Amino acid sequence: MAPDGLPDQVSAPRSARLTFRIDFDGGRLGHGKIELLEHIARSGSLSAAARAMDMSYRRAWQLLAALNAMFSEPVAVTHPGRNTNGATEVTPFGRQLIVTYRRLEARLVKAAEPTLDRLLAPPAAPALRKAAKRDRTKRRPNT
């Protein structure tokens, strides 16, 4: 342990991924709710979407209710009693929400890549850091 109380060596992470969420007045929209909508769009079923995400039907229903309450238009509608070919349908607004979120996510990930790469890069060896510092001090004009 170093004198400042920090560990002598910290292992660098091997990978990083950017996640984000949007905080609206009426709730939060993040990758989990978008993934739920994507599963509903594929399967046409809230219960199948819940199983695909390894979550309870109750939790999936709560997330969908929160999504529908968040916006002035529903993102998905359920058809009670319809047991064939699913009973939940993503609305056109819900599909546009998925597309918009994923496009924004792609733009943010692309913009963050250089920074994430720098964070993942191994730190320079102490001798290299000292040499770089010497080089910088040599270039300073005399004043």
What would the pLDDT profile of 20-75 be if each residue is shown by its tens digit? 999 999 899 999 999 999 999 999 999 999 999 999 999 999 999 999 999 999 99
| Domain presence at residue 5 | no
| Domain presence at residue 86 | yes
- How many domains does the structure of the chain reveal? 1
| Domain presence at residue 137 | no
| Domain presence at residue 68 | yes
What would the pLDDT profile of 101-129 be if each residue is shown by its tens digit? 999 999 999 999 998 888 888 776 565 55
Residue 80 belongs to domain with CATH number: 1.10.10.10
136 or 93, greater pLDDT? 93
| Domain presence at residue 138 | no
Q: What is the pTM of this model?
A: 0.73
Q: Which residues of 67-98 are buried (b: 16+ CB within 10 A; e: fewer)?
A: bbebbeebbbebeeeeeeebbbbbbeebeebb
The SS3 assignment for 135 reads: helix
The SS3 assignment for 18 reads: coil
Domain that holds residue 91: 21-111
Task: Report the C-alpha gap between 48 and 20 in whole angstroms.
Answer: 25
| Domain presence at residue 6 | no
The pLDDT of residue 133 is 61
Q: What is the mean pLDDT of residues 7-12?
A: 58
